Structure 1
């Protein structure tokens, strides 16, 4: 019968991709992780992983085992939560995220938080960069996942992952040449309002040039992409999420002579807070699952 430790070592190695990351997560050594996975493979009579470079990739049998292991681990955590500390108050957490997180890896983050903290009550707020920062300072939310801010004496800022951006136009745009900054600045740009870090990223990237016109100000990435595809202007959008629209020909990536913009996403939380250990753990989970690709 597989043990909880064996399932835990298997699950986190699969989830995080390396033995070292798993060992750090479950507070043990790599050799202990290897031993537990081998014992599990012997018990099940299958090979769970194949090596690809430095990463452990699930086999077909491993993927099946992964789907079955997650609810078992969740049931184990629920059992401990119920009987080890029955009088412990229910954990509540308010998290602010921007749109790109909401439409990509937020569902995975929520699932992992509920796995780690059975019974947790989550409140999710979706907002713009400046709005979330103010809500955090006002204690309306406890943790914000958003674009990196300048140093703030009141806030911790921990890097989570990089968001790559790309300039795109409609199908009529040329992809056989590189565009100068002044050419991008002269085109009608579909952008978000001043509270968005994306809007600031456009302006920073275009310097010393200034955009001549903004034909629309829209606080929706999906609507922006649709208008660009319809030939109403150009915009700068998250690369990984909108790559399928480029592949299908709905959008055209505009090559530029300057490297295209990038934004660092981070977790923000107040330095003076009694739940700071929780926020750090949530941040570690966010680092493990952060991927700006379309949600499955």
Structure 2
């Protein structure tokens, strides 16, 4: 009965799409995103979605990839915009964009440390980065272990925005996605530092289960790919 009910709803939505009356689709989109997306192009995506589906409300969940993926698997959200790799199947996965990491610091801190910058010297002082269980943090830990470098000065934060502000305040060097600090680099409140090691870039994906969600979720995933590749 549930499958039949879903098919009826999909057919009704398909009828409105064929008539180009997506404005009559009255539903909700339960959206889960990571903080990097929330701090970069999320607002542009929401505006694009609202232009086409003005009667669809959006329930937004911002969290770590693991939390977003779990809620997608349990049906608590319809569309996940998250990083790979994945612990659970979703149904459909669309690649969005690759985001490289860079090392940054406040200008005064960078100048005080001169040109003798290496991972050996960097890890002797505070290093700010994202959560302990992120891919970048795990790769940093493996690198430090292989080189027998201490990790006791690494400061993990579940909030990327807080990491950026702490870096601007001169509290340490930081390993962050380049897109996140674009504005700070342009204003020179942060400067990029050349270091011999960087983690793997972040790979972002749109994920959803087409058997459990309305038709407009796939359209929304397409909008995400369009917006993600239109700029930072």
TM-score, normalised via structure 1 length:
0.60
Structure 2 CA distance for aligned equivalents of residues 198 and 123 of structure 1: 29
Query: Among residues 64, 80, 93, which one is paired with 2:29 in the alignment?
Result: 93
Residues 245-283 of structure 1 show CA distances to partners (whole Å, capped at 9, x for unaligned) of 2343322311022456411111122364253x4332211
The answer to whether the 8 Å contact 1:194/1:200 transfers is: yes
Corresponding residue number in structure 2 for 1:243: 182
SS of equivalent to 1:242: helix
Tell me by how many angstroms 1:214 deviates: 4.3
SS of equivalent to 2:49: helix
Give the gaps of 5 or more residues in structure 2. Answer: 1-18
Query: 1:1-296 residue pairs with structure 2 within 5 A?
Result: 80-81=21-22, 90-150=26-86, 152-171=88-107, 172-174=109-111, 177=115, 179-200=117-138, 202-203=140-141, 208-209=146-147, 212-214=151-153, 216-258=155-197, 261-270=200-209, 272-275=211-214, 277-290=215-228, 293=232
Residues 47-77 of structure 1 show CA distances to partners (whole Å, capped at 9, x for unaligned) of xxxxxxxxxxxxxxxxxxxxxxxxxxxxx96
TM-score, normalised via structure 2 length:
0.75
Q: Runs of at least 4 residues of structure 1 off by over 6 A?
A: none
Structure 2 CA distance for aligned equivalents of residues 272 and 219 of structure 1: 33
Residues 189-246 of structure 1 show CA distances to partners (whole Å, capped at 9, x for unaligned) of 2233335455345446667346512453322222212222333222111213313323
Structure 2 CA distance for aligned equivalents of residues 237 and 156 of structure 1: 28
Give the gaps of 5 or more residues in structure 1. Answer: 1-75
Highest relative contact order (Cα 8 Å, sep 6+), 1 or 2? 2
Structure 1 CA distance for aligned equivalents of residues 231 and 22 of structure 2: 32
Corresponding residue number in structure 1 for 2:5: none
Closer, same or farther in 2 for the Cα pair 1:248/1:121, shift >3 Å?
closer
Residues 92-114 of structure 1 show CA distances to partners (whole Å, capped at 9, x for unaligned) of 11010111211221111111111
Q: Which is greater in Rg?
A: 1
SS of equivalent to 1:213: coil
SS of equivalent to 2:146: coil
Structure 1 CA distance for aligned equivalents of residues 22 and 91 of structure 2: 31
